[in-house]
Amino acid sequence: MIPLFKTHASIGKSILKIEDVARLSEDSSLDEVYLVEDSMIGFPTALKLLKEKLRFGLRFDVCNADDPDVQNNASKSKLIAFANGDLGCKDIYKLHTKMNQENILYSSLKEYENIVIAVPFYDSFLFNNSMNFSNCVPELPDSTIFFLEDNNLPFDNLIKKKVIAYCNKYSYQFFNAKSIYYENRSDFEAFQTYKCICNRNPGKQASLSSPNLDHFGSKEFCFESWRTSEWITY
């Protein structure tokens, strides 16, 4: 099972520092450290601390149509771009620059030859098609991989079946993974507090009694859960 770390370099998304990830990876003797961030802010520090262990992924919005209102675009979903060597890092920087200027289209992904595209378990086109009544049919590179997760959320099994069926139909690879935003289950309240403080949606007032956090009704998004998880094959 691949641990997918996120740090507070992705503002409002995690209470882990890059130094925490380096410590956890060292304590657990991880040969590779997958870091999935929403920006490139933490990349220099991560590279300095993790060196050749680092497998850096940029999480970004993507859509089918070049709609200027991307926030309300029915085909909008998330993808992750993992760098493949030094040339891959350059491609990710290009992608990061472009995502801050214009919409990223599924059809444009072929321009980046040195990255590996991964489909996250949550906020993917399959998740949105299943849970939000979207109908996105994307154009994906042949080398695209998919992640499966199980964090004890009520819809996890439904989405897993959708992902496995899609991968089997179109011959994509899928891997078990775990999104990690804090170290231990006991850190869950601290994580929720941080998320509430960083809440930027004026339409959803957040509090500990009513945090209004999508996909976070579980204490399993932590490194402790990854350490104690059983390996599952499909």
| Choice among 11-15, 61-65, 106-110, 124-128 with the minimum mean pLDDT | 61-65
pLDDT band for 132, please (50, 70, 90 cuts): confident
Residue 32: pLDDT band by 50, 70, 90 thresholds?
very high
Cβ contact 182:188 at 8 Å: yes
The CATH architecture that domain 2-228 belongs to is Alpha-Beta Barrel (3.20)
pLDDT the model gives residue 168: 96
Residue 104 is predicted with a pLDDT of 87
pTM across the whole model = 0.88
List the domain boundaries for the chain: 2-228
Per-residue confidence (pLDDT) for residue 202, from 0 to 100: 55
Pick the more confident residue, 203 or 47: 47
212 compared with 59, residue with greater pLDDT: 59
**What was the pLDDT predicted at 198?**
73
Question: What is the predicted pLDDT for the residue at 11?
Answer: 85
Contacts of 201 (CB under 8 A, 6+ apart): none
Tens of pLDDT, residue by residue over 180-220, are 999 999 999 898 888 877 765 555 555 555 555 565 678 99
pLDDT in tens, 79-100: 999 998 889 999 999 999 988 7
Q: Which two tokens stand for residue 127?
A: 């998740």
- Percent of the chain with pLDDT strictly greater than 90: 60
Confidence of residue 73 (pLDDT cuts 50, 70, 90): low
Instruction: Return the pLDDT at 64.
Output: 80
